[in-house]
C-alpha cells in the first residue's frame, strides 16, 4: 500500500511541478544549445524568442513531459520509497541514515532514467526548433524510429544515467536532511513535519542537486539535440569536444535559469507528493475505522 501511495504522490507532484517549470525549462535548453554562440544575455535572447515565436514558445515541448512527467516522478518516488523500506532498519524509513537515503535516491534516479531519457529527448528536439510550427510529438517519434529504429528514442540514455543516479541521491539526501533538522528543532517526528517544510526542503534540494550536476546536463542536451541519422557521439568525446572548442564557461550556460526554475518546481513536487500521501493515509485510516466499526 505504501508503494501505491508513493506512485500516486509522484504522479500528482510531477504534473504540478511541470506546470510550474515548463517556461524556465525551454529557456534552459535554449541557453545550453542554440544561444551558446550568440552575443547577448539570456534575458535578451528570451525577449527575442518571444518576439519572433510568440508567448506559446515558452511551452514548446510541453506534450512529451505532460504525458511522461507524472509517470517519471511516479517511478522515481515508487523506486525511492521501495528502496528506502528495503534498506532501512526493520523497514522503518524514519530511522534510515542519510547514507541509506542517498543510496535509495540513486536507485530511484537509475529507475526513472529509462523514462526520463526518451521524454527529455523529445522535449529537447522540440524546444530547439525555432520555427513557430515544428513537428508534433507523434510525428517526431515516427521520424526518429524510422531513421534509427526503436533505439533512437534512447539517444543520450547513458548521459541521463550519469546525471540522474548521483543527482537524485544528492537530491533526496538534501531534502531529508532539512526535514530532520526541522524535526529535531521542533521536537516532532518526521511524519509530523508540515507541508511548508516539505516545500522548502524540496526547493533547496532541487537547487543544490542541479548546481552539482549541471555540466553533465549540458553534455546530455547537446547529445540529444543531434538529429536522427547523424553519427552518435559518446558522452566523454562530446564533453571533450565542447571543452576544447567552447571553453569551460559553456558548462555553466543557463545555470542561473535552471536554479531559478529548480526551487519552485521541486518545492511543488515534494509539497504535492506529501499532500497526496497524507490524503491517502487519511482515506485509508477512515476506511479501516469504518470497516472495524461495521465488523
C-alpha torsion sign, points 11, 16, 20, 23: positive
Least confident of 24-28, 38-42, 172-176: 38-42
Q: What pLDDT does 98 receive?
A: 94
**Taking the CA atoms of the chain, what radius of gyration do you get in angstroms?**
20
Residue 44: how many CB atoms within 10 A of its CB?
Answer: 12
Mean pLDDT, range 263-273, rounded to an integer: 94
Q: Is 189 helix (H, G, I), strand (E, B) or coil?
A: coil
Least confident of 49-53, 78-82, 110-114, 282-286: 49-53
Tell which wins on pLDDT, 261 or 113.
Answer: 113
CA 25/CA 113 separation, integer angstroms: 18
Q: What pLDDT does 269 receive?
A: 94
C-alpha torsion sign, points 86, 70, 205, 111: positive
- Asked if residue 225 lies in contact with residue 124, where contact means CB atoms within 8 angstroms, the answer is yes
Nearest to 48 by CA among 161, 39, 125, 218: 39
Q: What pLDDT does 43 receive?
A: 62
Q: What pLDDT does 291 receive?
A: 62
pLDDT category of residue 281 using cuts at 50, 70 and 90: confident
Mean pLDDT, range 10-19, rounded to an integer: 88
Looking at the chain, the whole-number percentage of residues with pLDDT higher than 70 is: 83
Q: What is the pLDDT of residues 108-129, one digit of tens each?
A: 999 999 999 888 888 777 767 6
Contacts of 116 (CB under 8 A, 6+ apart): 68, 72, 160, 164
Q: What pLDDT does 211 receive?
A: 94
Q: What pLDDT does 130 receive?
A: 57
pTM, two decimal places: 0.81
Mean pLDDT, range 87-106, rounded to an integer: 91
CA dihedral of 197, 186, 3, 171, whole degrees rounded to 10? 50
CA 123/CA 196 separation, integer angstroms: 31
Amino acid at each position: 500500500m505504501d508503494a501505491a501511495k508513493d506512485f500516486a504522490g509522484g504522479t500528482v507532484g510531477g504534473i504540478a511541478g511541470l506546470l510550474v517549470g515548463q517556461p524556465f525549462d525551454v529557456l534552459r535548453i535554449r541557453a545550453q544549445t542554440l544561444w551558446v554562440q550568440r552575443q547577448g544575455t539570456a534575458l535578451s535572447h528570451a525577449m527575442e524568442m518571444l518576439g519572433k515565436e510568440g508567448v506559446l514558445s515558452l511551452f514548446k515541448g510541453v506534450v512529451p513531459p505532460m504525458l511522461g512527467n507524472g509517470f517519471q516522478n511516479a517511478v522515481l518516488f515508487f523506486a525511492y520509497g521501495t528502496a528506502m523500506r528495503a534498506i532501512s532498519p526493520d523497514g522503518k524509513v524514519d530511522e534510515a541514515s542519510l547514507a541509506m537515503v542517498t543510496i535509495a535516491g540513486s536507485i530511484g534516479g537509475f529507475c526513472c532514467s529509462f523514462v526520463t531519457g526518451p521524454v527529455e529527448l523529445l522535449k529537447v528536439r522540440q524546444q530547439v526548433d525555432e520555427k513557430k510550427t515544428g513537428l508534433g510529438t507523434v510525428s517526431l517519434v515516427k521520424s526518429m524510429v524510422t531513421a534509427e529504429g526503436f533505439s533512437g528514442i534512447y539517444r543520450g540514455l547513458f548521459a541521463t544515467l550519469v546525471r540522474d543516479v548521483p543527482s537524485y541521491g544528492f537530491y533526496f539526501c538534501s531534502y531529508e536532511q532539512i526535514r530532520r533538522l526541522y524535526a529535531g528543532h521542533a521536537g516532532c517526528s518526521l511524519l509530523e513535519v508540515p507541508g511548508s517544510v516539505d516545500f522548502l526542503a524540496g526547493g533547496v534540494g532541487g537547487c543544490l542537486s542541479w548546481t552539482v550536476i549541471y555540466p553533465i546536463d549540458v553534455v546530455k542536451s547537446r547529445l540529444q539535440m543531434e538529429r536522427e541519422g547523424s553519427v552518435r557521439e559518446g558522452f566523454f568525446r562530446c564533453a571533450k569536444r565542447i571543452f576544447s572548442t567552447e571553453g569551460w564557461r559553456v558548462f555553466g550556460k543557463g545555470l542561473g535559469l535552471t536554479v531559478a526554475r529548480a526551487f519552485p518546481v521541486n518545492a511543488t513536487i515534494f509539497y504535492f507528493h506529501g499532500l497526496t500521501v497524507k490524503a491517502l493515509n487519511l482515506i485509508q485510516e477512515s476506511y479501516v475505522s469504518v470497516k472495524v466499526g461495521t465488523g
